[in-house]
């Protein structure tokens, strides 16, 4: 689903929720016998960057799950603006949402907002980055997932007698990205395999910026034969620079992280150097955000980290976790859920 279509859909969902709130205020809330308000759970989600494929897929799946479970959901985009995220969240709190979901633009800037929400009796769920005081954080273990990617690569490289000369494409302004790189470095170091990290660059997670940064790195180190990126744009942007430099793509091994959607899927299943990706299953994350909100609304106590599953995806196991749907692929939720020790969906 493209950004325009998704935004149109979100606007429609928001309008329906606002209309429903208007009816409730006009007609009076129906009180259940135990004194609780008999109405759908209201969830407000302030995402940090709707333009990115990862968040588009999260929001699409969250909207679908909300409709399925009868949850009133409003989604708003902070567009990487901390002040906008805070003010939008405060507006949702004023609308008396039951659960506030946040993908932080800057987790350090949201402590006061989370305290304010809790003082008002609002449950708080964060995605991607934890924030002190939230009821739960829905996301992966970034460091361990980085190690998982490194362990896969070590096995792959040893089987093919690859002498690794590595380019790492990071985005150090975000803690999650730093942890992925740290985990990958640690996994390589723990393997005992001989390797050399030729350079680490900051691609800002955007393909066009990665391309420029990687061009400079490849000019300085044309012997690079391994690329590890902290998201699909990081990996594929560096791959594009590698090709543009006229280097031997047959000698390159590219490893992705995130597997956010069509960018990674097309690279993996096409004839490219992209050999594997640490999949984070964004649509499943979107479903899990709503599941967590519903379970918390029922009084279920969650751990501080409601850990999402990850898996190294290769062409060999791709169809275990994905299935063809039209011109693209849909996630096999039951297969992904089996990677977890416990899922909030079990409470439904």
Q: What domains lie within the chain, and their CATH numbers?
A: 3-140+282-308 (3.40.50.2300), 142-279 (3.40.50.2300)
H or E segment at 72?
Answer: strand 72-77
pLDDT at 32 (0 to 100): 35
pLDDT for the residue 347: 53
Report pLDDT digits (tens) over 182-193: 999 999 999 999
| pLDDT for the residue 168 | 98
| CB distance 71 to 41 below 8 Å | yes
The pLDDT > 70 percentage for the chain reads: 88
Mean pLDDT, rounded, for 142-159? 98
The CA angle 320-321-326, to the nearest 5 degrees, is: 105
What is the per-residue pLDDT for 346?
63
C-alpha–C-alpha distance, residues 267 and 255, integer Å: 10
pLDDT confidence bin for 39, thresholds 50/70/90: confident
CB 76 within 8 A of CB 63: no
Q: Per residue in 196-237, pLDDT tens? A: 999 999 999 999 999 999 999 999 999 999 999 999 999 999
Q: What is the pLDDT of residues 93-133, one digit of tens each?
A: 999 999 999 999 999 999 999 999 999 999 999 999 999 99
Q: What are the strands, taking DSSP E only, across 128-216?
A: 136-139, 165-170, 196-202
**Please, are residues 191 and 164 in contact by the beta-carbon 8 Å criterion?**
no
List the structure tokens of 15.
């309008």
Q: What is the mean pLDDT of the chain?
A: 89
Q: Is pLDDT above 50 for 55?
A: yes
Residue whose pair of structure tokens reads 């690794």 in the numeric block? 164
> Are 202 and 170 in contact, with CB atoms under 8 Å apart?
yes
């Amino acid at each position: 689903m493209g950004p325009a279509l998704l935004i149109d859909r979100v606007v429609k969902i928001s309008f329906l929720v606002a209309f429903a709130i208007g009816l409730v205020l006009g007609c009076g809330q129906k009180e259940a016998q135990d004194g609780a308000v008999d109405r759908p759970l209201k969830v407000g989600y302030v995402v940090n960057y709707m333009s990115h494929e990862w968040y588009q897929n999260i929001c699409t799946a969250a909207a679908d799950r909300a409709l399925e479970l009868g949850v009133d959901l409003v989604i708003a985009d902070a567009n990487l603006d901390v002040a906008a995220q805070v003010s939008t969240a405060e507006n949702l709190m004023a609308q008396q949402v039951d659960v506030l979901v946040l993908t932080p633009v800057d987790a350090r800037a949201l402590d006061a907002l989370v305290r304010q929400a809790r003082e008002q009796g609002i449950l708080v769920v964060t995605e991607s980055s934890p924030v002190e005081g939230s009821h739960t954080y829905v996301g992966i273990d970034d460091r361990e997932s980085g190690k998982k990617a490194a362990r896969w690569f070590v096995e792959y490289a040893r089987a093919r007698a690859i002498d690794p000369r590595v380019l790492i494409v990071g985005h150090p302004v975000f803690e999650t990205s730093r942890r992925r790189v740290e985990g990958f470095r640690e996994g390589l170091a723990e393997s005992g395999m001989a390797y050399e990290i030729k350079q680490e660059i900051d691609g800002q997670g955007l393909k066009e910026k990665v391309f420029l940064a990687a061009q400079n790195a490849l000019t300085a180190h044309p012997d690079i034969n391994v690329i590890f990126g902290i998201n699909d744009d990081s990996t594929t942007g560096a791959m594009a620079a590698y090709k543009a430099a006229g280097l031997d793509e047959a000698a390159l091994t590219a490893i992705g992280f995130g597997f956010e959607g069509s960018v990674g899927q097309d690279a993996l299943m096409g004839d490219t150097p992209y050999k594997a990706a640490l999949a984070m299953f964004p649509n499943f994350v979107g479903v899990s955000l709503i599941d967590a909100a519903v379970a918390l609304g029922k009084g279920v106590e969650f751990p501080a980290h409601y850990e999402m599953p990850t898996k190294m995806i290769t062409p060999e196991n791709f169809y275990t976790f994905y299935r063809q749907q039209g011109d693209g692929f849909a996630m096999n939720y039951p297969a992904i859920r089996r990677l977890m020790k416990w899922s909030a969906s079990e409470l439904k």
